[in-house]
Amino acid sequence: MSQNMISVSSLNTQIKSLLEATFMHILVEGEVASATYHSSGHLYFSIKDKSSAIKCVMWRSAVAKMKFRIEKGMHIVVEGSVSVYTPRGEYQFQTLRIEPYGQGALALAYEQLKERLKEKGYFDAQRKKPIPKHISKIALVTAKESAALYDMLKIIEKRWPLLEVVILDTLVQGEQASYQIARSLAYADTLAVDVVVVGRGGGSAEDLWPFNEEAVADAIFKMQTPVVSAVGHEVDVMISDHVADLRAPTPSAAMEMILPDMNEIRYALDETQTRFSYTIQQKIQQSVRNLHHIEELLMRSSPARLLRETAHEFKRLEEEFKRVIEYKLEQYLSQVPQLLKNYKQSMAMTLQQKEQHLEYVEKKLAMSDPKLQQRKGWGQVSFEGKRIDLNSIDLGQTFVIADTKVRIEALCLKKT
């Protein structure tokens, strides 16, 4: 037996000491061959290249600090040390930190969460609530002593000082910030405000990271009150910006976007008042014109006016009639002498004609006098005052025979 012979445990112990002392705090780059997130919180995975692979472990305390999850096929860089498990003689890479190869861990975590929330519908446009046009009460979720709060209050005082403001002092940086932000958002949703603004001023990616946490995204998604996300500067786009109902590039810009400008409203009110006054004046003038027109129509149709017009017309006709009568009278009076002369001449001629005619009639009457025409022996026969022929007298009938001098009542005794 050789005196250099050692036991298995001793060998593994020496290997452990040698490896752990030699490969401390090194960086190893490779592709994730497998990954298991254990219920204990530990992460067991392996990385490989074209020729070989190595097992890795990351304890729960380090896993909790990771911003992203590793997946099979991902190209990563691990930082840590080689450790040996002496009971089985196995070695593995004890990982302290993992970074995506060629890409920042925060950037990868951002994209992973963004994709996951997008699939869950957190970014859908149809679920976003409209920002009220008229805001009377607002909640600001931010750090109480921050420059962002000061800027927002300054804009509020300038644009709309009538606004009621509720300030919810909240951590906006650090490991506990995301949970405090989520809790403050949930509380703000119970305050019956018109809108909630959550945000902070600019900073590094690490400083702004709480607004990329899933807890904040969940809180915003569950809110019934419209939410405005105003984080960092214009170039900073957070997960909260995607989930919120409105994204503002800065906290100050958020106030300018959702609040009316007091001066603009004053100008608008002045302009509206001017237009209103002008419109009212136009309406009044038009109403006055319409009233005058109606009065004229009423006057034209009123009985009193009609009576006055009728009386006036009657008087005019009366005067016209008088003028016509006077004119006619003047004409007739001027013609009276001639008419009288003509009348006298006409009467004289008429009298002469009548006298001649009378003379003629007297002669004719004289010639027709029965006394002159009656011959001796002749008389007129009548019965009951009517002249009759002798043929019509019956036997025994009385009748009258008369001439111009004598009247005799006779009785028919015989008729031949």
Beta-strand ranges (E) seen in 111-194 are: 137-142, 164-169
The strand order across the sheet containing 246-248 reads 164-169, 137-142, 195-200, 227-231, 246-248
The pLDDT tens digits along the chain (416 residues) read: 556 788 888 888 888 888 877 888 888 888 889 999 999 999 999 999 889 999 999 999 999 888 888 888 888 888 899 988 888 888 899 999 888 876 666 777 788 888 889 999 999 999 999 999 999 999 999 999 999 999 999 999 999 999 999 999 999 998 899 999 999 999 999 999 999 999 999 888 888 999 999 999 999 999 999 999 999 888 888 999 999 999 999 999 999 999 998 888 888 888 889 999 999 999 999 999 998 888 888 777 777 777 887 888 888 888 888 888 888 888 888 877 887 888 888 888 988 898 888 888 888 877 766 555 556 667 788 888 788 888 888 888 888 888 777 888 888 888 87
Q: Is 73 left (phi over 0), alpha (psi -120 to 50) or beta?
A: left
Decide: pTM greater than 0.85.
Answer: no
Three-state SS for 75-121 is EEEEEEEEEEECCCCEEEEEEEEEEECCCCHHHHHHHHHHHHHHHCC
| Dihedral sign for Cα atoms in the order 382, 383, 387, 388 | negative
CATH top class, domain 8-103? mainly beta
Rounded distance between C-alpha atoms, residue 318 and residue 270, angstroms: 66
3-class SS of residue 29: strand
User: Hey, is 227 helix, strand or coil?
Assistant: strand
Burial class (CB in 10 A: 0-12, 13-18, 19+), 309: exposed
For residues 230 and 197, what is the distance between their CA atoms, to the nearest angstrom? 7
Look at residue 248 in the predicted model and tell me its pLDDT.
94
Tell me the C-alpha distance between 56 and 80, whole Å: 10
Residue type, 123: F
CA-CA distance, 282 to 110, in Å (whole number)? Answer: 63
Determine the pLDDT at residue 5: 82
CA dist 127 and 256 (Å) reads 24
Pairing mode, strands 90-100 and 43-48 = unpaired
Question: Cα angle vertex 187, ends 185, 188, to 5°?
Answer: 65
Longest dimension (CA), the chain: 232
CA-to-CA separations, 173 to 170, 179, 198, 251, 313, in angstroms, rounded: 9, 11, 13, 16, 101
Residue 81: strand pairing partners: 94
What pLDDT does 103 receive? Answer: 63
| Whole-number Å distance between alpha carbons of 314 and 308 | 10
What pLDDT sits at residue 368?
65
Q: What is the pLDDT of residue 325?
A: 87
So what's the pLDDT on residue 77?
86
C-alpha 155, offset from chain centre:
32
Are the C-beta atoms of residues 225 and 195 closer than 8 Å to each other? yes
Residues sharing a CB contact under 8 Å with residue 222, sequence separation 6 or more, in sequence order? 186, 189
∠ CA(396), CA(401), CA(406), 5° rounding?
Answer: 140
* Beta-bridge partners for 29: 77
- Residue 140 token pair: 């600001």
pLDDT value at residue 170: 96
- Report the DSSP beta bridge partners of residue 48: 31, 53
CA gap 117, 274 in Å, rounded: 52
Amino acid sitting at position 153: L
Q: Where are the domains of the chain?
A: 8-103, 126-260, 380-411
CATH assignment of 126-260, among 3.30.420.130, 3.40.50.261, 3.30.70.20, 3.90.1640.10: 3.40.50.261
Alpha-carbon distances, residue 107 vs 2, 4, 205 (angstroms): 59, 54, 9
Q: Is the dihedral of CA 172, 177, 178, 184 positive or negative?
A: negative
- Residues 6+ away with beta carbon under 8 Å from 316: none
